[in-house]
Copies of this chain bind each other. A is one copy, B any other.
Amino acid sequence: MELLKQKIINDGDIIHPDIVKVDMFLNHQLDIDLLDEMGKEFYRLFKDSGITKILTIESSGIAIACFAAKYFSVPVVFAKKGNNRNIGSDTYSTEIFSFTKASTYTAIVSKKYLSDNDRVLIIDDFLANGKALTGLLEIVKQSGAEVCGVGIAIEKAFQPGGKNLRDSGIRIESLAKIESVSDGKINFAD
């Protein structure tokens, strides 16, 4: 998606060869017109998949998922992190290792909001090692719902998550694929 790539080039912040911060428009400040275009693009890609629910994980996935959900006319469910005393005990849950925070957290979804009748589109902001996405896939599996696909804003194609999960048969569509970052320049895969 050209608009997103341009945003990454213009406003992304390379703070480490492996880390491109997009706090300016996606992870802290939110560019609403961009998010809306991203939602529209996910709809174009998955509109024929019979999606009944969009699953994401707090926090940075929520905004993207909401704008996509507007086009699909389906609800969003966001997985919660950590032990949430308000969510009740009847949950799907999984452990996710975060490289960013160098620790493991629990992701949970109430059984009320995901069932074997659902056809799920998973949406998240980043795909790198694939830990969060693997956790969300595990949650959907526990629910008996069907994963129809995965929509990612920014994939770091130089990390193994995308390849591994595609090899396992999951349809993953990333709006921008970063192939490498070298000499302060971001190179996209296509």
Chain A residues engaging chain B, CB cutoff 8 angstroms: 15, 19, 21, 23-24, 27-33, 35-36, 58-59, 62-63, 65-67, 69-70, 73-78, 80, 85-87, 100-101, 109-110, 112-113
CB nearest neighbor in B for A13: B88
Provide the residues of chain B in CB contact with A31, threshold 8 Å.
Answer: 75
User: Does B86 lie within 8 Å of A30, measured CB to CB?
Assistant: no
User: Does B29 lie within 8 Å of A77, measured CB to CB?
Assistant: yes
The 5 closest A-B pairs by CB, nearest first: A58-B59, A30-B76, A29-B113, A59-B59, A32-B69
User: Does B29 lie within 8 Å of A70, measured CB to CB?
Assistant: no
Could you say which of B21, B66, B85 contacts A63, with CB atoms under 8 Å apart?
A: B66
Could you say which of B32, B78, B86, B113 contacts A76, with CB atoms under 8 Å apart?
A: B32
User: Does B110 lie within 8 Å of A69, measured CB to CB?
Assistant: no
User: Does B87 lie within 8 Å of A100, measured CB to CB?
Assistant: no
Provide the residues of chain B in CB contact with A77, threshold 8 Å.
Answer: 28-30
Provide the residues of chain B in CB contact with A101, threshold 8 Å.
Answer: 85
